[in-house]
Amino acid sequence: MQFQVVIPRSPREAKGLLLASIRDPNPVIFFEPKWLYRLSVEEVPEGDYMLPLSQAEVIRKGSDITLIGWGAQLAVLEQACEDASKDGISCELIDLRTLIPWDKETVEASVSKTGKLLISHEAPITGGFGAEIAASIAERCFQRLEAPVARICGLDTPFPLVYEPFYMPTKNKILDAIKATVNY
C-alpha cells in the first residue's frame, strides 16, 4: 500500500487527478489550492478522464534551467518562464502533480539535460518539500549539476492575509533566481 499526496494546478488537472485518486486502491490526500475556486474560466472536459498519479508533466521544454513546482505555484512559474525567455533563457518547467511519491526520473532526466534546478513552492523554505527534492537531486545528479540547487519559497514565519504578496514567491523573485542560477 502506497500513501499518495496530490496537488493539482488547474481545474482541468483537478478533475483528472481527483478521478484517478478516487479509483486508486491506495490512500490519497488531495490538496485543493484555494485559488482554484477563484478562477473565472477554464475549459474542463465533460467526459470521464484520469491523469496519471505519480507522473510529473513537462509543461514547457527548455535547455538552460529546470524549474519544478506544484499546485498554485505553477501559474507564477509560467509567468517567470515567459519573462526569462525574453532575456534568452530557455526554461524547462515541470509540474510534479504528486508529491508522495514524486517522479524522480522525470526531474532527474531534465536536470541531467539542463545542469541547473530551481524549486519553488508556497510553504516555508525550512522543512518544505523542496528541500527533499533538492537533497535527492544533489545525490542523484551531483556530477551533472552546474550550479547549486536554488529554492524560492515562502518565508519562515506566519503571516496575515494582507501580507501574502510579500510572503509568497513572486514572478520577480523567481526571475531573479533564474538569472542568478543560469549565470552562476
Question: What CATH number is associated with residue 132?
Answer: 3.40.50.920
Cell of 2: 502506497
- pLDDT tens readout for residues 114-130: 999 999 999 999 999 99
pLDDT of residue 40: 63
Distances (CA, A) of 132 to 9, 69, 86: 20, 13, 31
Query: Global pTM?
Result: 0.93
Residue 166: give the domain boundaries.
57-182
| Number of domain units in the chain | 1
Q: What mean pLDDT comes out for the span 149-160?
A: 92
Asked if the structure places residue 148 within a domain, the reply is yes
Q: In the predicted model, is pLDDT for residue 28 greater than 70? A: yes
Is there a domain that residue 47 lies in? no
Distance of CA 93 to the CA centre of its chain: 8
pLDDT digits (tens, 9 = 90+) for 15-24: 999 999 999 9
Average of per-residue pLDDT values in the chain: 94
What is the H or E stretch that residue 106 is in? helix 104-114
User: How many C-alpha atoms does 119 have within 13 Å on its Cβ side?
Assistant: 21
Residue 28 lies in a domain: no
Q: Is residue 32 part of a domain?
A: no
Is residue 6 in a domain? Answer: no
In a domain, 7, yes or no: no
- In tens, the pLDDT along 58-98 reads 999 999 999 999 999 999 999 999 999 999 999 999 999 99
The residue ranges of DSSP E strands in the chain, in sequence order, are: 4-6, 28-30, 57-60, 65-69, 91-95, 98-100, 117-124, 150-154
Q: Flag whether 31 is in a domain.
A: no
| Spatial separation of the C-alpha atoms in residues 6 and 156, rounded to whole Å | 23
